Amino acid sequence: MIRMALTKGRIEEKALEMLSACGYDVSELEPDRRGRKLFFRVGNADIEIVLAKAADVITYVSHGVCDAGIVGKDTIMESDGRFHELLDLNFGRCRFALAGPAGKYDEFRRGYGHKIIASKYPRVTKNYFDSLGSDVEIVKIEGSVELAPLLGLSDAIVDIVETGSTLKANGLEVWEDVARISARLIANVASVKLKKAEIDPLAAALETRIED
Ligand code: PRP
Protein backbone atom coordinates (compact mmCIF):
# COMPACT_ATOMS: atom_id res chain seq x y z
CA MET A 1 0.00 0.00 0.00
CA ILE A 2 1.23 3.50 -0.77
CA ARG A 3 -0.29 6.76 0.35
CA MET A 4 -0.23 9.72 -2.00
CA ALA A 5 -0.93 13.34 -1.07
CA LEU A 6 -2.70 15.38 -3.69
CA THR A 7 -2.76 19.18 -3.70
CA LYS A 8 -6.37 20.35 -3.33
CA GLY A 9 -7.83 22.61 -6.01
CA ARG A 10 -6.59 23.20 -9.54
CA ILE A 11 -3.83 20.56 -9.42
CA GLU A 12 -6.15 17.94 -7.95
CA GLU A 13 -8.58 18.13 -10.83
CA LYS A 14 -5.99 17.59 -13.55
CA ALA A 15 -4.10 14.98 -11.48
CA LEU A 16 -7.28 12.93 -11.04
CA GLU A 17 -7.91 13.13 -14.77
CA MET A 18 -4.40 11.78 -15.37
CA LEU A 19 -4.76 9.00 -12.80
CA SER A 20 -8.08 8.02 -14.31
CA ALA A 21 -6.57 7.99 -17.82
CA CYS A 22 -3.89 5.63 -16.43
CA GLY A 23 -6.68 3.23 -15.47
CA TYR A 24 -6.79 3.98 -11.73
CA ASP A 25 -10.29 3.95 -10.30
CA VAL A 26 -10.51 7.30 -8.52
CA SER A 27 -14.31 7.40 -8.46
CA GLU A 28 -14.35 7.82 -4.64
CA LEU A 29 -13.00 11.32 -5.28
CA GLU A 30 -15.81 12.37 -7.59
CA PRO A 31 -17.39 15.60 -6.29
CA ASP A 32 -20.80 14.04 -5.58
CA ARG A 33 -19.27 11.09 -3.69
CA ARG A 34 -16.55 12.67 -1.63
CA GLY A 35 -18.44 14.81 0.90
CA ARG A 36 -16.06 16.27 3.49
CA LYS A 37 -13.75 13.25 3.45
CA LEU A 38 -9.99 13.75 3.13
CA PHE A 39 -8.96 10.09 2.80
CA PHE A 40 -9.79 7.97 -0.25
CA ARG A 41 -9.00 4.52 -1.62
CA VAL A 42 -8.17 3.95 -5.24
CA GLY A 43 -10.70 1.25 -6.21
CA ASN A 44 -8.39 -1.05 -8.17
CA ALA A 45 -4.91 -0.46 -6.71
CA ASP A 46 -3.21 -0.44 -3.32
CA ILE A 47 -3.12 3.33 -3.25
CA GLU A 48 -4.64 5.65 -0.71
CA ILE A 49 -5.08 9.32 -1.60
CA VAL A 50 -5.21 12.19 0.87
CA LEU A 51 -6.12 15.75 -0.08
CA ALA A 52 -3.99 18.50 1.40
CA LYS A 53 -2.85 22.07 0.90
CA ALA A 54 0.26 22.37 -1.27
CA ALA A 55 2.76 23.13 1.51
CA ASP A 56 1.32 20.28 3.61
CA VAL A 57 1.79 17.81 0.72
CA ILE A 58 5.52 18.51 1.01
CA THR A 59 5.48 18.23 4.81
CA TYR A 60 3.69 14.85 4.70
CA VAL A 61 5.98 13.46 2.01
CA SER A 62 9.16 14.77 3.67
CA HIS A 63 8.14 13.18 6.97
CA GLY A 64 7.24 9.90 5.29
CA VAL A 65 3.59 9.78 6.37
CA CYS A 66 2.82 9.96 2.65
CA ASP A 67 5.00 8.05 0.19
CA ALA A 68 4.30 10.26 -2.80
CA GLY A 69 2.69 13.56 -3.66
CA ILE A 70 1.58 15.78 -6.50
CA VAL A 71 2.41 19.43 -5.95
CA GLY A 72 3.39 22.56 -7.87
CA LYS A 73 7.02 23.51 -8.48
CA ASP A 74 6.22 26.89 -6.90
CA THR A 75 5.60 25.23 -3.54
CA ILE A 76 8.62 22.94 -4.01
CA MET A 77 10.91 25.92 -4.67
CA GLU A 78 9.64 27.70 -1.57
CA SER A 79 10.07 24.64 0.67
CA ASP A 80 13.07 23.19 2.42
CA GLY A 81 11.68 19.67 2.68
CA ARG A 82 13.71 16.57 1.78
CA PHE A 83 12.14 14.44 -0.95
CA HIS A 84 12.76 13.27 -4.49
CA GLU A 85 11.20 14.98 -7.47
CA LEU A 86 10.35 12.07 -9.78
CA LEU A 87 8.43 13.59 -12.68
CA ASP A 88 7.51 16.86 -14.30
CA LEU A 89 3.83 16.23 -15.02
CA ASN A 90 3.76 19.31 -17.28
CA PHE A 91 0.32 20.59 -16.31
CA GLY A 92 -0.55 23.61 -14.17
CA ARG A 93 2.02 25.50 -16.19
CA CYS A 94 2.87 29.07 -15.26
CA ARG A 95 6.03 30.92 -14.17
CA PHE A 96 7.63 32.93 -11.45
CA ALA A 97 8.48 36.39 -12.69
CA LEU A 98 9.97 39.61 -11.41
CA ALA A 99 7.41 42.30 -12.21
CA GLY A 100 7.04 45.99 -11.57
CA PRO A 101 5.35 49.18 -12.72
CA ALA A 102 5.09 49.36 -16.53
CA GLY A 103 7.94 51.34 -18.10
CA LYS A 104 10.04 51.47 -14.92
CA TYR A 105 12.38 48.53 -15.57
CA ASP A 106 15.38 50.56 -16.72
CA GLU A 107 15.08 52.79 -13.68
CA PHE A 108 14.93 49.69 -11.46
CA ARG A 109 17.99 48.08 -13.02
CA ARG A 110 20.05 51.29 -13.23
CA GLY A 111 19.36 52.43 -9.73
CA TYR A 112 21.98 51.57 -7.16
CA GLY A 113 19.70 52.44 -4.28
CA HIS A 114 18.22 50.03 -1.84
CA LYS A 115 15.57 47.89 -3.56
CA ILE A 116 12.54 46.39 -1.87
CA ILE A 117 10.85 43.33 -3.37
CA ALA A 118 7.47 42.07 -2.15
CA SER A 119 6.52 38.42 -2.53
CA LYS A 120 4.48 35.55 -1.17
CA TYR A 121 7.60 33.52 -1.94
CA PRO A 122 10.51 35.05 0.02
CA ARG A 123 12.77 32.02 -0.42
CA VAL A 124 12.31 31.94 -4.20
CA THR A 125 12.93 35.70 -4.28
CA LYS A 126 16.08 35.46 -2.15
CA ASN A 127 17.51 32.60 -4.20
CA TYR A 128 16.87 34.52 -7.41
CA PHE A 129 18.55 37.74 -6.30
CA ASP A 130 21.39 35.77 -4.65
CA SER A 131 21.99 34.05 -8.01
CA LEU A 132 22.30 37.50 -9.61
CA GLY A 133 24.58 38.70 -6.84
CA SER A 134 22.08 41.44 -5.95
CA ASP A 135 21.28 42.35 -2.41
CA VAL A 136 17.63 43.36 -1.95
CA GLU A 137 15.25 43.67 0.95
CA ILE A 138 12.40 41.18 0.77
CA VAL A 139 8.99 41.83 2.32
CA LYS A 140 6.66 38.87 2.77
CA ILE A 141 3.08 39.48 1.66
CA GLU A 142 0.24 37.02 2.26
CA GLY A 143 -2.43 38.17 -0.19
CA SER A 144 -2.51 40.03 -3.50
CA VAL A 145 1.13 40.97 -3.82
CA GLU A 146 0.35 43.27 -6.78
CA LEU A 147 -0.82 45.79 -4.20
CA ALA A 148 2.63 46.28 -2.70
CA PRO A 149 4.19 48.39 -5.51
CA LEU A 150 0.89 50.21 -6.03
CA LEU A 151 0.91 51.25 -2.39
CA GLY A 152 4.58 52.23 -2.59
CA LEU A 153 5.74 49.48 -0.24
CA SER A 154 8.02 47.82 -2.80
CA ASP A 155 9.85 48.58 -6.05
CA ALA A 156 8.88 45.25 -7.59
CA ILE A 157 7.31 41.87 -6.88
CA VAL A 158 8.18 38.24 -7.48
CA ASP A 159 4.98 36.35 -8.15
CA ILE A 160 3.26 33.68 -10.19
CA VAL A 161 2.23 34.81 -13.66
CA GLU A 162 -0.09 32.69 -15.74
CA THR A 163 -1.92 34.81 -18.33
CA GLY A 164 -0.43 38.13 -17.19
CA SER A 165 -3.88 39.69 -16.87
CA THR A 166 -3.58 40.41 -13.11
CA LEU A 167 -0.36 42.35 -13.72
CA LYS A 168 -1.84 44.23 -16.66
CA ALA A 169 -5.00 45.15 -14.78
CA ASN A 170 -2.81 46.77 -12.13
CA GLY A 171 -0.41 48.68 -14.39
CA LEU A 172 2.42 46.20 -13.85
CA GLU A 173 4.52 44.18 -16.34
CA VAL A 174 6.92 41.25 -16.36
CA TRP A 175 10.54 42.39 -16.11
CA GLU A 176 12.41 39.10 -15.81
CA ASP A 177 11.50 35.41 -15.90
CA VAL A 178 12.55 33.70 -12.71
CA ALA A 179 11.49 30.06 -13.15
CA ARG A 180 9.14 27.75 -14.98
CA ILE A 181 6.41 26.18 -12.86
CA SER A 182 4.36 23.00 -13.37
CA ALA A 183 2.98 20.13 -11.29
CA ARG A 184 5.50 17.51 -10.12
CA LEU A 185 5.33 13.98 -8.76
CA ILE A 186 7.42 13.82 -5.60
CA ALA A 187 8.29 10.90 -3.33
CA ASN A 188 9.65 10.30 0.14
CA VAL A 189 13.36 9.47 0.15
CA ALA A 190 12.95 6.16 1.99
CA SER A 191 9.77 5.14 0.13
CA VAL A 192 11.57 5.40 -3.21
CA LYS A 193 13.70 2.45 -2.06
CA LEU A 194 11.42 0.56 0.32
CA LYS A 195 8.29 0.84 -1.82
CA LYS A 196 9.95 0.79 -5.22
CA ALA A 197 7.60 -1.98 -6.37
CA GLU A 198 4.59 0.30 -5.81
CA ILE A 199 6.03 3.72 -6.67
CA ASP A 200 7.78 2.79 -9.94
CA PRO A 201 4.62 1.53 -11.68
CA LEU A 202 2.70 4.63 -10.55
CA ALA A 203 5.40 6.94 -11.93
CA ALA A 204 5.68 4.90 -15.13
CA ALA A 205 1.92 5.02 -15.67
CA LEU A 206 1.77 8.77 -15.09
CA GLU A 207 4.73 9.32 -17.39
CA THR A 208 2.80 7.80 -20.31
CA ARG A 209 0.05 10.39 -19.81
CA ILE A 210 2.21 13.52 -19.75
CA GLU A 211 1.01 15.96 -22.38
CA ASP A 212 3.20 18.41 -24.32
C1 PRP B 1 -1.82 33.96 -8.76
C2 PRP B 1 -0.81 35.07 -8.65
C3 PRP B 1 -1.43 36.19 -9.40
C4 PRP B 1 -2.31 35.48 -10.42
C5 PRP B 1 -1.65 35.52 -11.76
O6 PRP B 1 -2.73 34.04 -7.74
O7 PRP B 1 -0.51 35.39 -7.31
O8 PRP B 1 -2.19 37.02 -8.56
O9 PRP B 1 -2.44 34.13 -10.02
O10 PRP B 1 -2.46 34.95 -12.77
P11 PRP B 1 -2.62 35.70 -14.17
O12 PRP B 1 -1.25 35.98 -14.69
O13 PRP B 1 -3.36 34.69 -15.01
O14 PRP B 1 -3.42 36.94 -13.96
P15 PRP B 1 -3.82 32.88 -7.53
O16 PRP B 1 -4.96 33.06 -8.46
O17 PRP B 1 -3.12 31.55 -7.58
O18 PRP B 1 -4.37 33.15 -6.10
P19 PRP B 1 -3.62 33.38 -4.73
O20 PRP B 1 -3.58 34.86 -4.58
O21 PRP B 1 -4.52 32.71 -3.75
O22 PRP B 1 -2.27 32.75 -4.81
Q: Is residue 170 part of a domain?
A: yes
Together in a domain, 166 and 101: yes
Atom of ligand 1 nearest to the CA of 144: 20
- What is the Å distance from ligand 1's center to 188 Cα? 29
Burial of 170 (0-12, 13-18, 19+ CB in 10 A): middle
Q: What is the mean pLDDT of residues 100-118?
A: 91
* pLDDT score of 113 more than 80: no
Q: What is the CATH number of the domain that holds 107?
A: 3.40.190.10
pLDDT at residue 55 in the model: 97
Provide the percentage of residues in the chain whose pLDDT is more than 70: 100
Q: Which residues of 87-122 are buried (b: 16+ CB within 10 A; e: fewer)?
A: bebebbebbbbbbbbeebbeebeeeeeebbbbbbbb
* pLDDT score of 34 more than 90: no
pLDDT at residue 35 in the model: 87
Together in a domain, 27 and 108: no
Interacting residues of 73 by C-beta distance below 8 A, sequence separation 6+: 88, 179, 180, 181, 182, 183, 184
- Cβ of 74 closer than 6 Å to ligand 1, yes or no, is no
Together in a domain, 144 and 189: no
pLDDT at residue 111 in the model: 74
CA-nearest residue for atom 6, ligand 1, is 160
pLDDT at residue 81 in the model: 86
* pLDDT score of 87 more than 90: yes
pLDDT at residue 127 in the model: 97
- Cβ of 165 closer than 6 Å to ligand 1, yes or no, is yes
- What is the Å distance from ligand 1's center to 161 Cα? 7
What domain range is 47 assigned to?
2-92+182-207
* pLDDT score of 63 more than 70: yes
* pLDDT score of 146 more than 70: yes
Average pLDDT score over the chain: 96
- Cβ of 163 closer than 6 Å to ligand 1, yes or no, is yes
Together in a domain, 100 and 73: no
61: phi then psi, degrees, rounded to nearest 5: -70, -40
Together in a domain, 137 and 151: yes
- Cβ of 131 closer than 6 Å to ligand 1, yes or no, is no
CA-nearest residue for atom 7, ligand 1, is 160
pLDDT digits 0-9 by tens, 147-175: 999 999 999 999 999 999 999 999 999 99
Q: Which of helix, strand or coil describes residue 212?
A: coil
* 8 A C-beta contact, residue 84 and residue 186: yes
* 8 A C-beta contact, residue 90 and residue 70: no
pTM (2 decimals)? 0.95
Pairing verdict, β 137-140 and 84-88? unpaired
pLDDT at residue 112 in the model: 67
Q: What is the mean pLDDT of residues 50-60?
A: 97
- What is the Å distance from ligand 1's center to 73 Cα? 15
* 8 A C-beta contact, residue 158 and residue 121: yes
Together in a domain, 70 and 12: yes
**Number of structural domains found in the chain:** 2
Q: CA end-to-end span of the chain, whole Å?
A: 31
pLDDT at residue 22 in the model: 96
pLDDT band of 57, cuts 50, 70, 90: very high
- Cβ of 164 closer than 6 Å to ligand 1, yes or no, is yes
Cα angle 31-36-47, degrees, rounded to a multiple of 5: 75
Together in a domain, 144 and 194: no
